[in-house]
Chains A and B, each alone.
Chain A
Amino acid sequence: MLNRTADNVARATPEPLAKRIRGISDKGLAWLFISPTILLLLAINIFPLFWAIYLSFTNYRANRPNEVVKNLGLANYQRILGDHDIWIAMQTTAHFVFWTILLQTVIGFTLAWLIDRKFRGHAFWTTIILVPMMLSPAVVGNFWRFLYEPQIGLFSYVISFVTGIPPTNVQMLSNVELAPWAIIIVDTWMWTPYVMLICLAGLRSIPEYIYEAAEVDRASNWRQFWSITLPMALPFIMLAVLFRGIENFKMFDMVNLLTGGGPGSTTEVASITLKRQAFESWRTGYSSAFAIILFVAVFGLANIYVKALNKVKQR
């Protein structure tokens, strides 16, 4: 019935149009469909990347379009790699990435493991846990700034209640020692649910019969966890770490909203430095070189990590 209808439609198609349709090969049709996307990618991803690479070898400044652009060779790269402040920003970024990933993975996996027990009301608690992840970083940054406020902030009062330290002395965003942790706490609060979701998917993918076999072999819960749960969920955990690592390496919004990189330069992560160089100091060539260095670093590290991830998956 369907074939007959198709035949009828084909016969009814005017000859010139039918010729034109027959003229496009499957490959041509495929290119026709994907070409808008490719053009868009070239325009908004590939071209800016190559343009930034070109600019990184020049002294170009976006706020001085009339000035002659000089080729500096590798001078921008040399200056960045020898800049003490840049290395401090990279250390701050590394500290932030390390601690957020560690905390989010440990707490996220623990929560996933608990949720996977399927206790009464687990669906409700899953939804509650996911709420922070659904909020906009701008909202989160702003309300945590109020929570951290030493004179009226709830966080300061809770700390004061627990420790007996006056709330006005709990200056999470002004204190050099505490400010990095203030950001780590907020990022962990917001993104642990994301890690939990990925880990939960991993835990749910472990076939039940493996645990049944382990039970038959009288393996303890501890043994089951170390020999079945963790190894089988490991690719998922590693995937979560990869996603969060890339995200946090280029973290900007939360830091900008909470501390703006301060006090001093204590929380000035690489992306804040990059923004300052590019859009406040208008060193476009210099900041392009810095952006390329960051891109290569993230790309290189992510590639090494993905290879490790593939090895774990193949085990």
Chain B
Amino acid sequence: MKSTLKLALGLASAIFASTAVSNVAHAEDLTLCWAAWDPANALVELSKDFTKETGIGMKFEFVPWTNYADRFLNELNSHGKLCDLIIGDSQWIGGAAENGHYVKLNDFFDKEKISMDDFVPATVVGYSEWPKNTPNYWALPAMGDVVGWTYRKDWFSRPELQKEFKDKYGWDLAAPTTFDQLKQIAEFFQKRQIDGKTVYGASIYTERGSEGITMGAMDVLYSYGFQYENPKKPYEMEGFVNSEKSVKGLEFYKALYDCCTPPGSSNAYMGEGVDAFKSGQVAMHMNFAFTWPGLQKDENVGGDKIGYFVNPKGPDGDQFAQLGGQGISVVSYSDKQESALKYIKWFANKDVQAKWWSLGGYSCLNSVVKDPKFPSSQPYAQAFLDSMAIVKDFWAEPSYAPLLQASQKRFHDYVVAGQGSAKEALDGLVKDWTQVFQDDGKM
């Protein structure tokens, strides 16, 4: 009887102790918030090493891209404690810094000897700094990303298509280096029968709800000469946003949409682009580089069938690409900032960054991307490197949301709905953006 009692007491104690231990461990878990996409899965895999090293568990809150901004900006604005770490979009940095959502990392970087000089400069400016081009850091560059293009290398290399193309346009069918070439290729493939199936020229961004059409149109406009403001006088936009060159760029984007996209492409963004390319509908596909590892592995269109190219040049030879990607920040409302900073320190490590790239994440660390083996490490590595060297980003002002909504409306109204002219759209955009900056007291 006595031994039975002892056994029962022992069991009860063991259960109590294990529960208590697991609760303690649970209390130390960090929650990392990000978008639900392929790199997030790679990060889950990578973070297992962090848990092994530190004993700190990792939980993840991933939200689809279409709701990502709404969900997490609401969380930050309401001072929620859901996220200890957040990989927030590059354009949020101004608002997050000025509204106190992110912990400033300068002292931490100094203490841990993490130098921003070790990261690709464009990613430091794009993902970490606010105000831009000042040494005030609110995030560690986490996921480099940029808009680039994929194309069907197998179609491009067919002798009969090459011959027909050369006869028609007078140059060899290959990855385009200018936007004019890109349009010619897109026209060539539009509604062409390939292997008994109707295919189309190109998939481009046209999404209205979040940021799609702005990312796509800007990707073209930059290389045509679009500038956000007078470089000598901040917030002066007249003649820069709506310059003649910008008008030509927007007209080109509309022409590309009208001539060469698959039917029903009026609301396409990253997911729709990937679907169009994977299903063999399009010859070329505009998308962020994060989609490339997945496409490379695809049985139907990946491997030797796919090629990658940098955003082409504009009429004057200018060449830029829309920056994507994000930095990782510590949320200032988190009760576990110390553990969250440990994660940042671990993530900045060279070996961790090398593994991050090998798992499908895009490292921003110089030692990884400048490694001589890097360009040959993946078929898309060189295109990624070249693209990251020419990036430009959308406004990262605290008022980025109304600025983005204005461009979404103006671009969609003109490009997709065909309302008004490119000049009217860009004049309207200057008016909208001026109003936003006036409301902010910046003009």
A281 touching B99, Cβ below 8 Å: no
**B262 at the A interface (CB under 8 A):** yes
- From B70, B417, B419, B439, name the one whose CB has the most chain A CB atoms within 10 angstroms: B417
Task: Give per-residue flags for A129-172: 1 if the beta carbon is below 8 A from chain B beta carbons, else 0.
Answer: 00000000000000000000111000000000000000011010
Report the minimal beta-carbon distance from A35 to chain B, rounded to whole angstroms. 30
B398 touching A64, Cβ below 8 Å: yes
B402 touching A266, Cβ below 8 Å: no
B398 touching A263, Cβ below 8 Å: no
**Chain B residues whose CB sits within 8 angstroms of the CB of A85 once the complex forms:** 409
Q: What is the number of contacts between chain A and chain B, taking CB atoms within 8 Å?
A: 89
Given A171-B266, A262-B416, A63-B401 contact (CB < 8 Å): yes
A151 touching B262, Cβ below 8 Å: yes
**B434 at the A interface (CB under 8 A):** no
A173 touching B99, Cβ below 8 Å: no
A173 touching B77, Cβ below 8 Å: no
Residues 259-273 (chain A) with a chain B CB within 8 angstroms = 259-266
B263 touching A150, Cβ below 8 Å: yes
Bound Cα distance A156, B263 (Å): 12
Task: Give per-residue flags for B35-77: 1 if the beta carbon is below 8 A from chain A beta carbons, else 0.
Answer: 0000000000000000000000000000000000010011001
**Chain A residues whose CB sits within 8 angstroms of the CB of B262 once the complex forms:** 151
Q: A171: which of B70, B264, B417, B418 is its contact (CB, 8 Å)? A: B264
Q: B416: which of A64, A150, A264 is its contact (CB, 8 Å)? A: A264
Given A281-B402, A283-B402, A149-B413 contact (CB < 8 Å): no
**Chain B residues whose CB sits within 8 angstroms of the CB of A65 once the complex forms:** 77, 79, 99
How many interface residues does chain A have, given as a range? 20 to 34
Given A280-B401, A281-B405, A282-B401, A63-B264 contact (CB < 8 Å): no
**Chain B residues whose CB sits within 8 angstroms of the CB of A59 once the complex forms:** 439
Bound Cα distance A280, B74 (Å): 10
Bound Cα distance A266, B412 (Å): 10
**Chain B residues whose CB sits within 8 angstroms of the CB of A260 once the complex forms:** 208-209, 267
**B95 at the A interface (CB under 8 A):** yes
**Chain A residues whose CB sits within 8 angstroms of the CB of B77 once the complex forms:** 62-63, 65, 282
B266 touching A174, Cβ below 8 Å: yes
Report the minimal beta-carbon distance from A75 to chain B, rounded to whole angstroms. 11
Residues 371-401 (chain B) with a chain A CB within 8 angstroms = 398, 401
Residues 208-265 (chain B) with a chain A CB within 8 angstroms = 208-209, 262-265
**A127 at the B interface (CB under 8 A):** no
**A276 at the B interface (CB under 8 A):** yes
**B100 at the A interface (CB under 8 A):** yes
A169 touching B398, Cβ below 8 Å: no
Report the minimal beta-carbon distance from B420 to chain A, rounded to whole angstroms. 9
**Chain A residues whose CB sits within 8 angstroms of the CB of B264 once the complex forms:** 149-151, 168, 171, 173-174
**Chain A residues whose CB sits within 8 angstroms of the CB of B409 once the complex forms:** 85, 264-265
Given A279-B70, A282-B401, A176-B418 contact (CB < 8 Å): yes
**Chain B residues whose CB sits within 8 angstroms of the CB of A151 once the complex forms:** 262-264
**A66 at the B interface (CB under 8 A):** yes
- From A169, A262, A265, name the one whose CB has the most chain B CB atoms within 10 angstroms: A262
Report the minimal beta-carbon distance from A146 to chain B, rounded to whole angstroms. 11
B267 touching A173, Cβ below 8 Å: yes
Report the minimal beta-carbon distance from B280 to chain A, rounded to whole angstroms. 12
**Chain A residues whose CB sits within 8 angstroms of the CB of B70 once the complex forms:** 279-280
Bound Cα distance A262, B208 (Å): 7
Given A150-B263, A168-B263, A173-B266, A262-B99 contact (CB < 8 Å): no
Bound Cα distance A62, B263 (Å): 39
- From B262, B266, B402, B413, name the one whose CB has the most chain A CB atoms within 10 angstroms: B266
**Chain B residues whose CB sits within 8 angstroms of the CB of A66 once the complex forms:** 99-100
B266 touching A263, Cβ below 8 Å: yes
Report the minimal beta-carbon distance from B75 to chain A, rounded to whole angstroms. 11
Residues 412-431 (chain B) with a chain A CB within 8 angstroms = 412-414, 416-419
B417 touching A263, Cβ below 8 Å: yes
**Chain B residues whose CB sits within 8 angstroms of the CB of A173 once the complex forms:** 264, 266-267
**Chain A residues whose CB sits within 8 angstroms of the CB of B401 once the complex forms:** 63, 280-282
A261 touching B266, Cβ below 8 Å: no
Task: Give per-residue flags for B346-367: 1 if the beta carbon is below 8 A from chain A beta carbons, else 0.
Answer: 0000000000000000000000
Given A63-B95, A265-B417, A174-B412 contact (CB < 8 Å): no
Which residue of chain B lies nearest to A175 when distances are taken between CB atoms in the complex? B266
Bound Cα distance A263, B95 (Å): 30
Q: A265: which of B198, B266, B412, B418 is its contact (CB, 8 Å)? A: B412
Q: A174: which of B99, B209, B416, B419 is its contact (CB, 8 Å)? A: B416
Bound Cα distance A169, B209 (Å): 24
B412 touching A263, Cβ below 8 Å: yes
**Chain B residues whose CB sits within 8 angstroms of the CB of A169 once the complex forms:** 263
A264 touching B417, Cβ below 8 Å: yes
A265 touching B413, Cβ below 8 Å: yes
Which residue of chain B lies nearest to A167 when distances are taken between CB atoms in the complex? B263
Report the minimal beta-carbon distance from B88 to chain A, rounded to whole angstroms. 13
Task: Give per-residue flags for A91-129: 1 if the beta carbon is below 8 A from chain B beta carbons, else 0.
Answer: 000000000000000000000000000000000000000
**Chain B residues whose CB sits within 8 angstroms of the CB of A283 once the complex forms:** 402
Which residue of chain B lies nearest to A170 when distances are taken between CB atoms in the complex? B263
Bound Cα distance A265, B409 (Å): 7
**Chain A residues whose CB sits within 8 angstroms of the CB of B439 once the complex forms:** 59
Bound Cα distance A281, B413 (Å): 18
Bound Cα distance A280, B208 (Å): 12
B412 touching A259, Cβ below 8 Å: no
B99 touching A176, Cβ below 8 Å: no
Which residue of chain A lies nearest to B279 when distances are taken between CB atoms in the complex? A151
Report the minimal beta-carbon distance from B208 to chain A, rounded to whole angstroms. 4
Given A173-B264, A174-B264, A280-B405, A262-B100 contact (CB < 8 Å): no
A174 touching B265, Cβ below 8 Å: yes
B417 touching A176, Cβ below 8 Å: yes
Bound Cα distance A173, B265 (Å): 10
Task: Give per-residue flags for A243-279: 1 if the beta carbon is below 8 A from chain B beta carbons, else 0.
Answer: 0000000000000000111111110000000001001
Report the minimal beta-carbon distance from B396 to chain A, rounded to whole angstroms. 14
Bound Cα distance A266, B418 (Å): 11
Bound Cα distance A169, B191 (Å): 12
Report the minimal beta-carbon distance from A290 to chain B, rounded to whole angstroms. 14
A262 touching B402, Cβ below 8 Å: no
Bound Cα distance A151, B261 (Å): 13
Report the minimal beta-carbon distance from A198 to chain B, rounded to whole angstroms. 35
Task: Give per-residue flags for B329-349: 1 if the beta carbon is below 8 A from chain A beta carbons, else 0.
Answer: 000000000000000000000
Top 6 A-B pairs, shortest CB-CB distance: A264-B417, A174-B266, A281-B402, A264-B413, A150-B263, A168-B263
